[in-house]
Amino acid sequence: MLEALIFDVDGTLAETEDVHRRAFNDTFAADGLPWVWSRDAYRALLGTTGGKERIARHIREAGGDPAQVDIPALHAAKTARYVDLMAQGEINLRPGIADLMAEARAAGLRLAVATTTSHPNVEALCKAVFGKPAEQVFDVIASGDRVAAKKPSPDIYLLALQQMGLLPHQAVALEDSRNGLRAAKAAGLACCVSPGIYTQGEDFSEADLVIDDFSALGGLSRLRRLTQDTA
């Protein structure tokens, strides 16, 4: 029986990635760094999960040494800028998300987050789109700062399952990226994918269901069938 939905955040709950990109660029400029990430450059960098990891990759690809940059401090400043942008109303939920969450709540399902992003970013999104703290929206928040290995490692999904006391066949993951899909499948979860603007064209052949957006899902019944197929 389906007991919970586990949501990725960036690109799944909302199209946040371009807000992240803007926050990175604003932070680089404020710190006097000459880096500007275009949409195409950021799309490539999204193949590496985690903001600090993306900064390090960019430095290496530019021929620099990540050890020479205070990456944690730079990323903390970027997070603060992201929170500011979200507070200014820069974002909306993706189509179908609000209805799906409401239907799940009405059916007695639990809602969880499993994301590589940090807890402050989850908090900023929830305040922006739901008008309330994340803990009042989700029963469990498994964020990227709580595990050693980020997606496509299954660790974040395993943490969410552990916190809810559920087995993989009792939940469904909702994702937008191949790295997220790989993480969910490695954790033993059925996974429904709706590609975001930065992940269209990725390989989702391992997904249990691929849809254009979550308004095309048609409700919980299709997700229930996914858990029956993987039990």
Look at residue 34 in the predicted model and tell me its pLDDT: 96
Place 228 in a pLDDT band, splitting at 50, 70 and 90: confident
Provide CATH code, domain 17-87.
Answer: 1.10.150.240
Q: Count of CB atoms within 10 A of residue 74's CB?
A: 18
Residue 66 has pLDDT above 80, yes or no: yes
Higher pLDDT: 207 or 219? It is: 207
Percentage of the chain exceeding pLDDT 70 = 99
Mean pLDDT within 68-96: 94
**Global pTM value:** 0.89
| Residue 65 phi, psi (nearest 5) | -115, 115
Higher pLDDT: 87 or 139? It is: 139
The superfamily (CATH) of domain 4-15+92-230 is HAD superfamily/HAD-like (3.40.50.1000)
Cβ atoms of 152 and 186 within 8 Å: the answer is yes
Residue 231 has pLDDT above 60, yes or no: no
Which positions are annotated as active-site residues?
Answer: 8, 10
Residue 164 has pLDDT above 90, yes or no: yes
Look at residue 51 in the predicted model and tell me its pLDDT: 94
Long-range contacts of 219-223 (CB under 8 A, 24+ apart): 219/100, 219/103, 220/2, 220/100, 220/103, 220/104, 220/107, 220/109, 222/192, 223/2, 223/5, 223/172, 223/190, 223/192
Residue 230 has pLDDT above 80, yes or no: no
Domain boundaries, the chain: 4-15+92-230, 17-87
Dihedral angle, C-alpha 98, 114, 167, 196, nearest 10 °:
60
